[in-house]
Structure 1
Amino acid sequence: MTNVLFELFIEPFSNYSFMSRALWGCLVLSLSAAPIGVFLTLRKMSLTGDAMAHAILPGAAVGFLVSGLSIYAMTIGGIIAGCIVALLSGFVARHSKAEEDSSLAAFYLLSLAVGVLIISSKGSSVDLLHVLFGSTLALNNEALFLLTSIATVSTLALALVYRALVLECVDPDFFKTVSRMGGAAHYIFLLLVVLNLVAGFHALGTLMSVGLMILPAAVARFWTNQLGPMILIAFLCASFSCLCGLLLSYHFALAASPAIILVLGGLYITSIILIKQRDLFSKKHTSLSLSGQTNA
C-alpha cells in the first residue's frame, strides 16, 4: 500500500525534475495570485481579471516576434500591453458615454484578436498553443526565477496596500472621504493583477491563467466571510488543485494547465453542493425546533 501511494503521489516529483519545477512554479503563483483573486471577487471585478488576462496577449506576441519564446521579452511586452489596455479603458470610460466594463471588453477583444493574429501569422501552431495554454511542464530556471520574483513583489506590495484595499471593498465612499490613497491603491492593485496574469501566462497560458486567480477565491467565498481565512482557503485550494492537476497530467497524459483548472472547477461545484446541503439541513433543523417549541 505504501509503495502504491509513493508511486502515485511522490515518485513523479522525486524522479522527474520537470514535475518538481512545475509544482514549484504553480505553488509560488498560487501564493500571489490567490489573494489577488480574493480582492477581485470582493470588488466584483472577476470579469475584469478575465479581460486583463486576454489583454496581455498582443504585448507577449510582440515580445515573441522580437526575441522568440524569450521569458523576459514576453513578460515586458505583456506588462506594457496590460497596463495600456487598463489605462485606455479607464480613460474612455471617463471621457465618453461608454461604461468602464464595456470599454474594457472592447479593448481586450481587440487585444486578443491582434495578439492571436500576430502569433498565428509569424509563428507556428505550436507557438500559438504555447502562448494560449502555457507550458507548465517545461518551466526552466528563468521562468521559475521570474515567477518567484513576481510572487515576492506582489505579496510585499499587497501587504503595503492591504488596509486601503480592505477599506475600499467595505465602504469605498467613506474611504474617499478619509484618505487620498484610493486612486493610488486602485492602480497599484491593477498593476498587481497584470503582474500575476503575466506570471500565470508563462505557466498556464493566456486562456487558463485567470482561473488560478478567480476560482480559488470563488470557492473560499462559500466557506467564510472573514478576509484572512478567505485568503488562506483560496491559497490552499489553488495549491491543492496544482498538485492534483499535475498528478492527473502525469498519470493520464493530460494537458497540465487545463487539468489544474478542471480540479478547481470540481472544488467549486463540490462547494456549491455541500453548501446547498448544509443550508437545507440548517433550515430543516430550524423548522423542527420551531415546531417543537410551538407544540410545547
Structure 2
Amino acid sequence: MLLYDTLIGPFAEFEFMRRALAGTVALALGGAPVGVFLMLRRMSLVGDAMAHAILPGVAVGFLLFGLDLVAMTLGGLVAGFAVAIFAGVLARVTALKEDASLAAFYLVSLALGVTIVSVRGTNIDLLHVLFGNILALDDDALMVIAINSTITLALLALIYRPLVAECVDPLFLRTVSRSGGLAHLTFLALVVVSLVSGFQALGTLLAVGLMILPAGIARFWSRDISGMIVIATLAAIASGYAGLVLSFASKVPSGPAIILSAAVLYVISVLFGSVDGVLRRRLMRGHLEA
C-alpha cells in the first residue's frame, strides 16, 4: 500500500500530476532525440546558449500580454530563430567562431530577458519564466508541447539520414550531397522549437536539461544512434516520473527535481554503463593486464 501511495497514488488522485506526467512524456519524446544529435555534433553548449537566447522573446511576450502562453511561445520562437541566424551570419562575416558569437548573444539575451521581466513582473513571475512550473500545465500548454513534439519528430525523420551522415563523416556528406546545410538549419530550428516547448514546464534555464542529460546517459549504454535515441527518450521519461514523485513527496520544486533525477541516472551511467563506463573500463583494463 505504501508503494502504491508513493508511486501511483499521486497520479491516480490528482489531475495536475497526470497533466505534469503527460507534459514530461511529450517533452521527452520531442527533446531527447534532439539532445542526442546535439551531443553527437558536439553542440551541447550551443543548446544551452539557445535556451537562454529565447528568454528576451518570452520576456517581451510577458511584458505585452502577461503570462499568456501563445504570446510567450511566439516570442521565444522569434528570439531563438533571430539569435541562431545572427550568430551564424556573424561567424561568416567576421573572424569570430559560431560558438563564441552564440556565447555573446547568450549573455546579452539572459541579461535583457531578466531586465524585461523585472520591469513589469514580480520575483514570482521571474522565477516562473526562468524555472517554469510543470505542475501548472493546462490544456493549452499541453497542446503546444504535443504539437511541437510531433513537428520535431516528423522533421527529424525527414532529415535523419543527412544528420547521421554529418555526425559520422561531414566531409563525405558535403562531397555527395548539398543537403547538409539545409539539414543543419532545420536542426537548429528544431532545437529552438524543443526549447520553447520546454520553457513553460521547466523554464528557460532548465529546459535544455531534459535534452542533454538523457543524451549523455544514452552515450554510456549504446554505440548505435537509433539505440541512443531510444535510451535517451526512456531516460527522459523515467527522470520526469521520478522527479514528479520526488517533488510530490517532498518540498523540492518539480523542475529541479526532474533534472536532479536525470543527473542521478547520469552518474549511474558514468559508473556502470556498458559503453565506456568507469567500472567497465577498469575491469577490461584489469583483464588485459592479467
The CA deviation string for residues 267-287 of structure 1, in whole angstroms up to 9 with x for no partner, is 111111222111111222233
The CA deviation string for residues 12-34 of structure 1, in whole angstroms up to 9 with x for no partner, is 00100000000000111000100
Q: Which of residues 242, 257, 278 is equivalent to 2:280?
A: 278
Q: Which of residues 153, 156, 166 is equivalent to 1:155?
A: 153
Which residue of structure 1 aligns with residue 118 of structure 2? 120
The CA deviation string for residues 126-182 of structure 1, in whole angstroms up to 9 with x for no partner, is 100000000110000000000000011110110000011001111111101111111
Q: Which has the larger radius of gyration?
A: 1
Rounded Cα–Cα distance in structure 2 between residues aligned with 1:194 and 1:41: 16
Mapping of residues 167-246 of structure 1, within 5 Å? 167-246=165-244
Measured after TM superposition, the shift of residue 69 of structure 1 is 0.5
The answer to whether structure 1 residue 145 and structure 2 residue 143 are counterparts is yes
Residue type of the partner of 1:28?
A: A
Measured after TM superposition, the shift of residue 255 of structure 1 is 0.3
Q: Which of residues 245, 267, 270 is equivalent to 1:269?
A: 267
Measured after TM superposition, the shift of residue 97 of structure 1 is 1.2
Q: TM-score, normalised by structure 2?
A: 0.97
Rounded Cα–Cα distance in structure 2 between residues aligned with 1:177 and 1:282: 39
Which residue of structure 2 aligns with residue 8 of structure 1? 6
Rounded Cα–Cα distance in structure 2 between residues aligned with 1:121 and 1:52: 23
Residue type of the partner of 1:55?
A: A
Which residue of structure 2 aligns with residue 131 of structure 1? 129
Which residue of structure 2 aligns with residue 42 of structure 1? 40
Note the residue ranges of structure 2 that are not aligned, 5 or more in a row.
none
The CA deviation string for residues 87-117 of structure 1, in whole angstroms up to 9 with x for no partner, is 1111111001111111110011111111000
Q: Which moved more, 1:25-34 or 1:263-272?
A: 263-272
Rounded Cα–Cα distance in structure 2 between residues aligned with 1:262 and 1:268: 10
Identity of aligned residues (%): 53
Residue type of the partner of 2:204?
A: T
- Taking only aligned residues, the RMSD between alpha carbons, in angstroms, comes to 0.8
Which residue of structure 1 aligns with residue 73 of structure 2? 75
Note the residue ranges of structure 1 that are not aligned, 5 or more in a row.
289-296
Q: Which of residues 258, 276, 287 is equivalent to 2:289?
A: 287
Moved over 4 A (4+): none
The CA deviation string for residues 49-92 of structure 1, in whole angstroms up to 9 with x for no partner, is 00000000000001111111111100000000000001111111
Q: Which moved more, 1:128-137 or 1:176-185?
A: 176-185
Residue type of the partner of 1:281?
A: L
The CA deviation string for residues 230-249 of structure 1, in whole angstroms up to 9 with x for no partner, is 11110111000000000000
Rounded Cα–Cα distance in structure 2 between residues aligned with 1:281 and 1:186: 39
Q: TM-score, normalised by structure 1?
A: 0.95
Which residue of structure 2 aligns with residue 293 of structure 1? none
Residue type of the partner of 1:277?
A: L
Residue type of the partner of 1:112?
A: L
Residue type of the partner of 2:136?
A: A
Measured after TM superposition, the shift of residue 208 of structure 1 is 0.5
Q: Aligned residues, how many? A: 286
Rounded Cα–Cα distance in structure 1 between residues aligned with 2:70 and 2:137: 13
